[in-house]
Chains A and B, each alone.
Chain A
Amino acid sequence: MKVRSLGYTVVGSVLLMCAWEIAGRGGVLGRTFPALSQVLDVFAQGPRRALLLRSSAATLGSAALGYATGMCLGIAVAVLAHLVPLLRGGLDRMAVLVNALPVIAIAPVLIITAGREGTPAALAAIPVFFLLYTSTGAGLRGASRRLELVLTTLGASRWQRLRKLQAVAAVPSMLSGMKIAAGSAMIGAIVGEWFGAPSGLGVVVLNSMQNFQMPLLWATVIVIAAITLAAYAVLTLGERLARRRIGTCDG
């Protein structure tokens, strides 16, 4: 079964690429849709390659910074909400609100505070914060009830329970959140760059769109997709390893 579906995936990918090539050559969707070969050609050109490399580094830097910040904040606030149940309701609402803040609205504020260079990282941090807050919270609460009772009977304090049981049990859920957050961090960074960052993949997207350099635009999109996929794959592996170690006893 597995072999068969892998086969289909390969077939499907090949079909997709062929269709792209044909559609592009035939100009079916206008100039916006160049042929696949034209797009791949961009990677062959030296200066273009260097541009993409530089921009990737800049964007990755912002995304990583935002990711780390958002993750630490998200986990910290989730732990706080868990230890002080009184605050949980309000913190939940706040997290939802923060996540709902329209990018376009807070961008001007961020530009003033974080500067044009810092905005991408800040916009990356926000969705990461929300995702890590909700997934960590869910993970902390999800620890098997029976195990919790055992610890309580043994006289474990709230802090001990957190450390020994809930924190460990929360890891799989946290990793799920981290997985999804990778993509959100990239999006945040790129959109942040649209508001005047000096360099980055988002800048390249905007410029190529305005200068109607479609092959470059598509090539940049492919690079973004590739980076996101790679991050996703790494984190998925990590999640699988963690799940195997921690297991999921529902007890």
Chain B
Amino acid sequence: MRRLVFDLWPVALLLLLWQAWVSAAGYNSIVLVPPGAVLSDLLHSPGAYLVPVLHTLIFALGGLAMGMTAGLLLALAAWLSELLAGITTPFALLLSSTPVVCLIPIIARLFGYEGRTELIAIAVMTFFPSFVYCSAGLRQLPAMSRDVFLVLHASRWQTLRLLALPAALPALATALRVGATYSVLVALLAEYLMQTGGLGALFAVTMQQFHLARALGASVLAMALSVLLFEATRAIERRVAAFYRGVFTLLLAVLVGTNVPAAGSLRIDPHALGTVARTEDRFQSYNVEMAEVIGARFWKPYAHMAAGDRAAAEIQVGSDPDLFEQRSPLDLGSHRLRALAAALGPAYMRVSGTWANSVYFQNDDAAPLAKPPEGFRGVLTRAQWRGVIEFAKAVDAKLVTSFTISSGVRDATGAWTPLEAQPLLDFTRSIGGEIFAAELFNEPNLPSVGAGPPHYDAAWFARDVAAFRAFMAAAAPGLRVVGPGDAGVGVVSLPGPLTPGTLLAAKPTPKFDVFSYHYYGAVSQRCAPPHSPGAATQEQALSDAWLSRTDQVYDHHAALRDRFAPRAPTWITETAEAACGGDPWAATFADSFRYLDQMARLAKRGAGAIFHNTLAASEYGLIDQTTLDPRPNYWAALLWRRLMGPVVLDAGRERPHLHIYAQCLDRSGGVSLLALNMSGGAALLDVSGPTETYLLTPSSDNAAALLNGRTLMLGANDRIPALAPKRRQGRVILPPGSIGFIAVPKAENPNCR
């Protein structure tokens, strides 16, 4: 809009010159009048102009339509018949070289001095460009398409209808624009000569009467009409050209102009997005379960499960032994694993989980114990812990852990002692490692699962936390105490009297430097029958309602945080598609929607870090635990790491099945958009400015992800492939069921500096 006004400076200049000229030359009013007089007449007697304007407009459009149609028909006839083509050529040539305006007198003599002559004159004038352009357009066929049609054995008529005519549409639009320019001109001349009505006649009559203001008013209106038709037809021409370049538009939009985004498209101006929250730089983080480190029993992969193992009668949380399988420790020295994890860095790595609650740290270099001592359930060797520390260093991950709380570390009164914590901390320090933060207890609201003492209650928890804090204050003052780290599964209330509320309300009030909780939207098929309230099919889990549960649960915890740990950052220390190892579809592309949507939502709410469970274990791992191949989720995570910075922007309200998020790309004003199209139709984004699009689509079996049409996989030597975007200007199309990261480096958003 601003540009439109700015571009009218020549008009202002012309008006100024006009005014100056009249004043300076001091013309008599029968020769020339100033612009003011013309404007005044236009405003005070609009009625005098109305009928003539309509007359000229209608005749111009009518003649234009006639001429365009005649030109098109003749071009079609010439296309179909060579004989006709030959005959019409001299005729067309003659017509083109004779100034049609000279033919007006002849046409007038032939058809009489009346309205229809005007129509015919305009038609004759516009016929020729239409004929020429349409003829050319019918021949501008896509390369080799004529041969394809021949081989398809298409009839002449079919070729015309299906190939030549659609191909000629852009040319027709150009002919329309050219014809429109002439139509008003010819209309005016014809009206002037024959005085049959319209602005031309008005001009002639008022000139004879020396009513110059009105005569010039007629001219001004004629000019406006001409410009209007030209702009309108040029817009149509542009629209058609754009259509043929492959941009999806509605036919209606053709008539409206070039600045209207097509219906069904979203307009985003990255420059103008405001901030909403801030996350940490290590926002996207991951978990490696203690069970993976020490090699314990963990969720049995679905592929290893016999038919009868599944489908529990009712929801259970991690107790049926048939659901577990002994696994060997994760090879944290693996080159591939380190390469993949390093690409996700910097991040936090949390080594915790149920097994961490009861692990015995064997603080010597003797052969690993075959059985853990009384009061413990697992053995962690020095070598294994060293592996963890070195891995964390190699991949730039800050370590977050939890400590043993089983009976093996409790004294006679049942109080927690740092019996295992002390040697672990000492050993960590001695090999140059550091534990950045720690929860005391993994999922304290499920103490029976986590090897907690029987009859564990909130008060006991509060005392444990106090002891823990006191110990850490002395032993590791910089270590951040994280909690409560309670387990949560969607809307299912977990058995037992312990809720985060009760845990936090106990005395002495547990104090946490970082507020944490766990969230799973559902319980997997291992632990929940398919139609129970805790389960979620893929369709259910990708519904807007289910996905928004993340927000509800966050808000609930945020309220607790504000009461008990105000201003503490919030970490979701364990989250994935579903508890109990995840559903089978958690390993497919479909989970990328959930993964990214959840992270983006939590970022908007200002969460500090999200820990995905897990990095490389079970169905919900980012990486396959056996082959160490990255899953589709991994690539989604990688793109998030590269493109979504810690400043979170407001990308507008949520649309059904189309979720758009925005965060700063970097510190130089760039913005990244994340668009999740979970609907059945394509989505269009009108983004101002040049964009770099990373489009993720599923492979046909959903097991792999494609980036801009190319399957993502590791290269030779575990090399991460180059992630190359598609550079576009403005319009981005997201096919149904696709994910688009759209970087706008030149957005110059002031919030991103």
Interface of B is mostly: helix
A128 within 8 A of B: no
Q: Are A15 and B87 in contact (CB under 8 A)?
A: yes
Q: Nearest A residue to B91 by beta-carbon distance?
A: A16
Q: Nearest A residue to B220 by beta-carbon distance?
A: A105
Quick one: CB contact mask for A10-34 with B, threshold 8 Å, 1 for yes? 0111011000000000000110110
Q: Are B103 and A105 in contact (CB under 8 A)?
A: no
Query: From residue A36, how far is it (CB to closest CB) to chain B in Å?
Result: 13
Q: Are B97 and A229 in contact (CB under 8 A)?
A: yes
A183 within 8 A of B: yes
Q: Bound complex: CA of A218 vs CA of B185, how far in Å? A: 23
Query: From residue A180, how far is it (CB to closest CB) to chain B in Å?
Result: 10
Q: In the complex, which of the residues A9, A90, A100, A224 contacts B102, with contact meaning CB atoms closer than 8 Å?
A: A224
Q: Are A96 and B230 in contact (CB under 8 A)?
A: yes
* Chain A residues near B82 (CB-CB < 8 A): 4-5, 8
Q: Which of A73-118 contact B (CB under 8 A)?
A: 89-94, 96-97, 99-106, 108-109, 112
B216 within 8 A of A: yes
Q: Are A102 and B99 in contact (CB under 8 A)?
A: no
Quick one: CB contact mask for B180-192 with A, threshold 8 Å, 1 for yes? 0100110011001
Q: Are B101 and A187 in contact (CB under 8 A)?
A: yes
Q: Which of B331-375 contact A (CB under 8 A)?
A: none
Q: In the complex, which of the residues B7, B199, B223 contacts A100, with contact meaning CB atoms closer than 8 Å?
A: B223
Q: Bound complex: CA of A108 vs CA of B98, how far in Å? A: 25
A53 within 8 A of B: no
* Residue among B14, B86, B96, B222 with the highest chain A CB neighbour number at 10 A: B86
Q: Are B101 and A13 in contact (CB under 8 A)?
A: no
- Chain A: how many interface residues by the 8 Å CB criterion? 54
Q: Are B11 and A97 in contact (CB under 8 A)?
A: yes
Q: Are B11 and A102 in contact (CB under 8 A)?
A: no
Q: In the complex, which of the residues A7, A190, A225 contacts B94, with contact meaning CB atoms closer than 8 Å?
A: A225
Q: Which of B516-567 contact A (CB under 8 A)?
A: none
A228 within 8 A of B: yes
Q: Are B192 and A109 in contact (CB under 8 A)?
A: no
Q: Bound complex: CA of A26 vs CA of B582, how far in Å? A: 95
Q: Are A91 and B98 in contact (CB under 8 A)?
A: no
Q: Are B94 and A97 in contact (CB under 8 A)?
A: no
Q: Are B87 and A11 in contact (CB under 8 A)?
A: yes
Q: Are A97 and B110 in contact (CB under 8 A)?
A: no
Q: Are A93 and B7 in contact (CB under 8 A)?
A: yes
Answer whether A183 and B97 are a contact pair too, CB < 8 Å, given A99-B181, A102-B223.
yes
Q: Bound complex: CA of A15 vs CA of B110, how far in Å? A: 22
Q: Which of A137-180 contact B (CB under 8 A)?
A: none
Q: Are A225 and B109 in contact (CB under 8 A)?
A: no
Q: Are A97 and B88 in contact (CB under 8 A)?
A: no
Q: Are B32 and A187 in contact (CB under 8 A)?
A: no
Q: Are B89 and A104 in contact (CB under 8 A)?
A: no
Q: Are B11 and A224 in contact (CB under 8 A)?
A: no
Q: Bound complex: CA of A198 vs CA of B188, how far in Å? A: 24
Q: Are A205 and B102 in contact (CB under 8 A)?
A: yes
Q: Bound complex: CA of A123 vs CA of B192, how far in Å? A: 17
Q: In the complex, which of the residues B10, B27, B105, B188 contacts A102, with contact meaning CB atoms closer than 8 Å?
A: B188
B272 within 8 A of A: no
Q: A8-B82, A89-B6, A102-B223 are in contact. List 20 more A-B contacts (CB 8 A).
A: A9-B89, A11-B86, A32-B106, A32-B109, A90-B8, A90-B10, A102-B226, A104-B203, A105-B218, A108-B32, A112-B27, A183-B96, A187-B102, A190-B101, A202-B102, A217-B106, A221-B103, A225-B97, A228-B99, A229-B93
**Contacts A/B (CB < 8 Å), 16 sampled:** A7-B86, A93-B10, A96-B230, A97-B223, A100-B226, A100-B227, A102-B203, A104-B200, A104-B219, A105-B222, A187-B100, A205-B105, A220-B102, A221-B103, A226-B97, A229-B97
- Residues of chain A touching chain B, judged by Cβ–Cβ distance below 8 Å, are 4-9, 11-13, 15-16, 29-30, 32-33, 89-94, 96-97, 99-106, 108-109, 112, 183, 186-187, 190-191, 202, 205-206, 209, 214, 217-218, 220-221, 224-226, 228-229, 232
